[in-house]
């Protein structure tokens, strides 16, 4: 079955689902969101997310608050915002964040939203209750972020690295007081996923910079209790990562070798 989601300009880029309301949200590359009713596949188009010429790469849904978060950037990346959509009324609120937001995550237990800002190298924390913000220093070139709602810890992947030639790694943030640990060196990380049950955090680590450094092609596994790491070799240029918390299995897409690495229980 195919459902039509119309993009006024650009193309469809992001999708998210609220499993509690059975609603699907699709964002296009310019200025619209299509809302799909999961029961009958009827659609509603929400326009004017931020403005023409902006770029909307992601969309995230908090099923508990029934809010939808759409980070976007202006051409050149100098302006960053997040549009927050009320899932009931479809009212929109714009919150200013750092430059070029690359990743977004939320803690449904504390109703805090965390935005990783690539160009400004920091994290914007949005309080879901009143949309007030605060800023936390990141590790530079912050590209991905994830939250463990059980431990209330936030993990930030820093892509500022070309293996042995540059800094990079990840930053650990306490959700209770927004304090950060020293960025733990690693390499040019790309994505992050968490198993909140085992308190393990997984970062893809391609570590490849053409002309500067050889590939590393590993997954960095962080123990959330001790903050110690181990590495697991995967395929070429690991990119995206996902965790099945029920089976304690990790799946990694490798863009260079065009395959998927499956990592069993750790």
- Give the percent of the chain with pLDDT over 70: 84
* C-beta separation of 87 from 66 below 8 A: yes
Q: In the predicted model, is pLDDT for residue 263 greater than 90?
A: yes
- Is the model's pTM score more than 0.75? yes
User: Can you give the pLDDT at residue 153?
Assistant: 96
Per-residue pLDDT band at 167 (split at 50, 70, 90)? low
Which domains can be identified in the chain, with CATH numbers? 1-96 (2.120.10.30), 98-235 (2.130.10.10)
- pLDDT tens digit sequence for 208-218: 655 555 678 89
Mean local confidence (pLDDT), 125-152: 91
- pLDDT tens digit sequence for 75-115: 766 778 999 999 999 999 999 999 888 899 999 999 999 99
- pLDDT tens digit sequence for 9-55: 557 778 899 999 999 999 887 678 889 999 999 999 998 887 666 66
- For the residues of 78-140, what is the DSSP string, one character each? --EEEEEEETTT--EEEEE-SSSEEEEEEETTTTEEEEEETTTTEEEEEETTT--EEEEE-SS
* C-beta separation of 139 from 170 below 8 A: yes
Q: What is the mean pLDDT of the chain?
A: 85
């Amino acid at each position: 079955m195919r459902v039509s989601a119309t993009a006024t300009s650009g193309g469809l880029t992001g999708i998210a689902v609220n499993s509690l309301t059975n609603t699907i949200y699709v964002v296009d590359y310019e200025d619209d969101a299509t809302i799909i009713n999961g029961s009958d596949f009827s659609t509603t188009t929400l326009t004017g997310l931020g403005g023409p010429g902006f770029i909307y790469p992601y969309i995230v849904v908090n099923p508990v608050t029934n809010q939808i978060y759409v980070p976007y950037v202006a051409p050149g990346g100098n302006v960053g915002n997040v549009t927050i959509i009320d899932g009931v009324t479809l009212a929109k609120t714009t919150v200013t964040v750092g430059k070029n937001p690359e990743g977004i995550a939320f803690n449904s237990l504390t109703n805090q939203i965390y935005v990783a800002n690539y160009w400004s190298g920091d994290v914007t924390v949005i309080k879901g209750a009143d949309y007030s913000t605060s800023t936390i220093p990141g590790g530079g070139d912050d590209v991905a972020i994830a939250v463990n709602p059980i431990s209330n810890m936030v993990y930030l992947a820093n892509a500022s690295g070309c293996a042995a030639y540059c800094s990079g790694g990840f930053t650990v943030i306490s959700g209770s007081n927004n304090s950060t640990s020293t960025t733990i060196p690693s390499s040019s990380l790309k994505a992050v996923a968490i198993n909140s049950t085992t308190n393990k955090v997984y970062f893809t680590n391609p570590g490849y910079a053409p002309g500067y450094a050889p590939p590393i092609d590993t997954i960095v596994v962080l123990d959330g209790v001790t903050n110690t790491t181990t590495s697991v070799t995967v395929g070429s240029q690991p990119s995206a990562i996902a965790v099945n918390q029920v089976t304690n299995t990790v799946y990694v897409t490798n863009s260079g070798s065009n395959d998927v690495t499956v990592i069993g229980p750790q």
